[in-house]
Structure 1
Amino acid sequence: MPFSRPQTPHKELKLGYCGLGAMGYIMARNLATRLSHPTVQHPIVVYNRTRARAEKLAKEVGESEIKIANSPEELAIECDIIFTNLADDEVVKMFFEKFASALKDSQNTKNKIFVDMSTVYPSLAGELDNLISSIPHAHLVMAPVFGAPTVAETAQLIVVMAGDYRSKKEVAHLLVPAVGRKVIDLGGNLEKAPTFKLIGNSLLLGSLEVLAESFTLAEKSGIQASQVQNLVKDIMPAPVFENYGNKMVHDLFDGTKGFAIDGGIKDSAHIRKLATDVNCPMPALDVAHQHLITARAVHASKRARGHAVHEILDWSSLVAGARVAAGLDGFDSNKHSKVELDS
């Protein structure tokens, strides 16, 4: 934790959470159930465009811990600190425009901290800052996180923060340890946090591509991918290699239990744009992006014929792109030729 504890405010803080997708649902739940902080007022106020998700969360943790807002405007007016975790840049901007408009119309005089935890292109942080800084007493913190939903379940996420120092200090001590295990502070430039997030995701996506290509080469050469995965565990025992390698080897591509492929393609597009903007070639990421698109295209074709196993793909399914390029079945490794062991 790079921040000392903030001074106790004179009043209790009311927290709001907007966006209850795969990650947002878990983080909002953790704030409601794990956060024991003398300055935080319960229940936590939540808003989601699909109200059923908010109702599910309220039923799971209880109405004493979760209150459902009827609109994003209500959330912004009622709460002191508003967290957002949304699908893409367009949606993030739309919600922040609603927040800003509501606060201006209400002639807000309360201190507000907005904390965006989405994965967005860095320049959007500047646009959001223009919206929020036009509101008296309002501040913006960019705070994307590293970790899959399974990591969020155990409140072990890594939080990357940039923005106003006092606001970061306040927010950091709410998120750790209720949501994450560590905060990385990148200073006052808001664009640094989403930039760092994209760089981190490039490491993850590059790792997936290396695994996908190696497993595909093995199966084309008559070696079981599971044998290569055992080698990975021996010489590169890192969680990202073990977890995603296991998904690829066993065709575990259910996007409802991992990072959905649409989010992966959005992130890879952002990474490639950032690399283009700063003149930094990343050929491995170019290939990974194409393999993600191939996997999604093949899956869409299977869905249209009623043959798809999963409704949503996990981004580890990019191995399907490598497999198809090599003449193998994209999603069913049982159809691949297996090595015959000597007796």
Structure 2
Amino acid sequence: MATLLHSALSHTTIPYSRPGTPSSHAPKQVGFVGLGAMGSLMVANLANQHSSPNGYPPVLVWNRSNDKAEKLLAKLGQDKIRIAQDLAQVASECDVIITNLANDAVVKSVYEKFAEALKAEPSTKRHRIFVETSTIYPTLAGELDVLISAIPHAHLITCPVFGAPAMAAKGQLVIVMSGDYRSKKEIAYLFVPGIGRKVVDLGENLEKAPTFKLIGNSMILGTLEVLAEAYTLAEKSGIDAENVHNFVQDMLPAPGTIAYSDKIAHDKFDGSVGFAIDGGIKDASHIRRLTADFNSPMPVIDVAHQHLLTARAIHQSMKQEGKAVYETLDWSGIVAGTRVAAGLDGLDSRKVCAL
């Protein structure tokens, strides 16, 4: 029965047949680089899904700050993960190398180190798949491909994911893939179930998945901007935030929309358990660049970008004064921009009562 259920699930969520070559079923050494809010959850699910006495070896992880890797090791145990000394070890020992990093500059730097390490090694017949899951500008994918394609028997796929950390924790991310077909097929069955619930295939052009990721994020950010503006108008006109949140739950019942509405309604702006505002500003900048490159205006993102900058400036000022509630501001703090523009306090809606 379990086999039948898994088969049915695979057909509806993975757009590829199961890999059929014997080598595809051999246990792979998987490496994971980047243990941020998303990466740490993704690698934990991956390790729990596949690492066992009869499964894959412990996932080899690396993070710029080693304390995150040590915490993950303490949580999961040595049978699930082990810590790499450096990026060269990840590149050398792994068949599948997954990256989930903060920004384009870090991504490029990491892949340059991968390429440098592997070019210095004696030639081998090991087949490697590099899986780039970060949110990057599409043209960077081409630069990474130049680095990876120079390595014998290595392929790159772009593989951004949709979903907040809460969805990542449950293994419910939506995964978008572009690149080599065989590599996508293998990674799809590695990621689902475990990391994600569904794979979307966008062909072999490596730039398509990052492009789609930015388009998807534009809709999420646009929704966030409209929520921020609506909550601000409600505050100014004397409508209680709970009434607005109840309306969102009743009339716009998408999980992400409800979650962001709850954050704005209750000033839950902790970026350490959400999406840090620096990442939101980076994404907004990428989206604006994409709209310029394709002459396709998206005014809501222009406005959202300005409100994100305002929110970050307010938060940084509060940190300098020792008044910040959170060390890292979530991008739902965008509402600070709309509140200040309307003459309200930026990050504390309770002060509206005194106005």
The TM-score normalised by the length of structure 1 is 0.96
2-structure distance, mates of 1:229, 1:139:
46
Q: Partner letter of residue 64 of structure 2?
A: R
CA-to-aligned-CA distance 1:140-189 (integer Å, 9 cap, x gap):
01000000111000000000000000000000000000100000000000
Is 1:76 the counterpart of 2:91? The answer is yes
CA-to-aligned-CA distance 1:228-265 (integer Å, 9 cap, x gap):
22112111111122110010010000001100100000
Is 1:142 the counterpart of 2:158? The answer is yes
Shift in alpha-carbon separation, 1:316–1:303, aligned structure 2, 3 A? same
Corresponding residue for 2:274? 258
1:226 to partner: Cα distance: 1.8
**Structure 1 residues 223-262: aligned runs within 5 Å:** 223-262=239-278
Corresponding residue for 2:64? 49
**Structure 1 residues 283-302: aligned runs within 5 Å:** 283-302=299-318
Corresponding residue for 1:2? 15
Stretch moving more, 226-235 or 19-28: 226-235
CA-to-aligned-CA distance 1:251-292 (integer Å, 9 cap, x gap):
000001100100000000000000010001111110100000
Is 1:21 the counterpart of 2:36? The answer is yes
Q: Partner letter of residue 254 of structure 1?
A: D
Q: Partner letter of residue 18 of structure 1?
A: V
Q: Partner letter of residue 233 of structure 2?
A: L
Corresponding residue for 2:286? 270
Q: 2:100·2:132 contact (CA, 8 Å) conserved in 1?
A: yes
Q: 1:13·1:81 contact (CA, 8 Å) conserved in 2?
A: yes
Q: 2:336·2:347 contact (CA, 8 Å) conserved in 1?
A: yes
1-structure distance, mates of 2:81, 2:295:
46
2-structure distance, mates of 1:338, 1:248:
19
1-structure distance, mates of 2:31, 2:303:
39
Q: 2:173·2:198 contact (CA, 8 Å) conserved in 1?
A: yes
Shift in alpha-carbon separation, 1:317–1:332, aligned structure 2, 3 A? same
- Could you list the runs of 5+ residues in structure 2 that have no partner in the other structure? 1-13
SS in 2 for 1:57: helix
Structure 1 segments (4+ residues) deviating >2 Å: 35-41
Q: 1:119·1:197 contact (CA, 8 Å) conserved in 2?
A: yes
CA-to-aligned-CA distance 1:108-167 (integer Å, 9 cap, x gap):
421110000000000000000000001110000100000011100000000000000000
Which of 219, 226, 237 aligns to 1:203? It is 219
1-structure distance, mates of 2:258, 2:138:
30
Corresponding residue for 1:99? 114
Q: 2:32·2:62 contact (CA, 8 Å) conserved in 1?
A: yes
Q: 1:222·1:338 contact (CA, 8 Å) conserved in 2?
A: no
Q: 1:157·1:180 contact (CA, 8 Å) conserved in 2?
A: yes
1-structure distance, mates of 2:56, 2:38:
23
1:222 to partner: Cα distance: 1.3
1:36 to partner: Cα distance: 6.1
2-structure distance, mates of 1:39, 1:185:
30
Which of 172, 179, 202 aligns to 1:186? It is 202
Q: 1:141·1:161 contact (CA, 8 Å) conserved in 2?
A: yes
Q: 2:62·2:84 contact (CA, 8 Å) conserved in 1?
A: yes
Is 1:318 the counterpart of 2:327? The answer is no
CA-to-aligned-CA distance 1:180-222 (integer Å, 9 cap, x gap):
0000000000000000000000000000000000110111111
Q: 2:218·2:301 contact (CA, 8 Å) conserved in 1?
A: yes
1:301 to partner: Cα distance: 0.7
Stretch moving more, 27-36 or 189-198: 27-36
1:34 to partner: Cα distance: 1.7
Q: 1:23·1:149 contact (CA, 8 Å) conserved in 2?
A: yes
2-structure distance, mates of 1:196, 1:95:
23
Shift in alpha-carbon separation, 1:30–1:276, aligned structure 2, 3 A? same
CA-to-aligned-CA distance 1:37-62 (integer Å, 9 cap, x gap):
99952111011111111111111010
Corresponding residue for 2:167? 151
- Could you list the runs of 5+ residues in structure 1 that have no partner in the other structure? none
Stretch moving more, 222-231 or 161-170: 222-231
1-structure distance, mates of 2:51, 2:76:
15
Q: Report how many residues are paired.
A: 339
Q: Partner letter of residue 275 of structure 2?
A: F
Overall identity of the aligned pairs, in % = 60
Q: 2:51·2:58 contact (CA, 8 Å) conserved in 1?
A: no
Q: 2:52·2:80 contact (CA, 8 Å) conserved in 1?
A: no
SS in 2 for 1:327: coil
